[in-house]
Structure 1
Amino acid sequence: MAMQEPRHQIRALHTESTVTVYQAYAPHLGLPAARDGRFPTAWKRDRMTWIKPSFLWMMYRCGWGAKEGQETVLAVEITREGFEWALGRSCLSHYERGLHPDQAAWKRALKAAPARVQWDPERDLRLRPLPYRSLQLGLSGGAARRYADEWTVAITDVTPLAHEVHALVRRDELDAAVRLLPEERPYPAGDELLSHLRAPVAC
């Protein structure tokens, strides 16, 4: 089944107006954010921040909430309008022959873009790489500030969920673990949003 997945596709928990992305922080940032439903003033709005629509990729990145500085896992519900604003103005974080005219053009685009995209291997329940890719969306400057102060609708601490799923995986109760995962479906992003982010098919 995995091989039938498109190589580059956004899969996310989403509604008609919002999309959920994941981040992990130290408790001094993550707990106030979840409590108040907004990022605290200590959250640095002038730094690049990476958001991930894939729960399992977030688990891979933060080690199920066990890595130092990533002990609090947040589900951040943001507006689809903001998410698509960033996608439409993003640039791939690496040069792709055939997608960009040349490396100089890619570097200029990257420098000017308020957002950047990486397509990293999606993960299974044991955090092993799958043959298709998961979106990572980096926000900088004005995009990061909009994310924190305009696009965010709700913030939920999902650390207990991360620990519960991890415990089931360790006990090899994979069917039970799957039932707890967020329902991530293909996000309805048309070619106008993704054509500049997909590597050529030949690659």
Structure 2
Amino acid sequence: MRNIFFLFSLLSFVFFLFSCNEDVLPKPKAYLSLEYPKKSYEQLKLERPYTFDISKSTTIIDDKNNWLKIKYPNLKASIDITYRPVENNLKELLTEAEKLVFKHAVKAEQIIPKDFMNSKNNVFGSLYEITGNAASHLQFHVTDSTNHFIKGSLYFYAKPNYDSILPAVAYIKSDVLKLIETTKWK
């Protein structure tokens, strides 16, 4: 019985010694390769009390009350634009816009505000970048403080998974910045 145990141990050791002739390495992580359309902008062609530049690769859906939906069909996303005239209710409009931003605080990891001011075109506003698995990852508002108020929100038509859609959020964020920077009132 001892000889069998010794023979089994010796064979196991020899098998172990000669079976591991190659290092086993883990597979490298794969990175999603997304290709986005080259940036190209044009001025909004719809008759509105405002105008701004939009990406040529988007589809515009006209809505009532001077509202818009800027769709990114390839990214399954849209920027929903709402317009409201300011009628001595600027504080109410700003409070409502901020409530909608901070409604995402439950799922958000961080909310990063950025203020904008373009005195030449009388455009003032804020952009909020919402990190984490929130329903909307970018929200913004712009106003002239006396007559016009625009609020916009970015939505994806998919379950929120921030790590997966982060490149798309960054791509659309540059379009939102262009929209804010080129806003003019009529």
TM-score for the superposition, normalised by structure 2: 0.26
Asked which structure has the greater RCO (Cα within 8 Å, sep 6+), the reply is: 1
| Larger relative strand fraction | 2
| Larger relative helix fraction | 1
TM-score for the superposition, normalised by structure 1: 0.25
Larger radius of gyration: 2
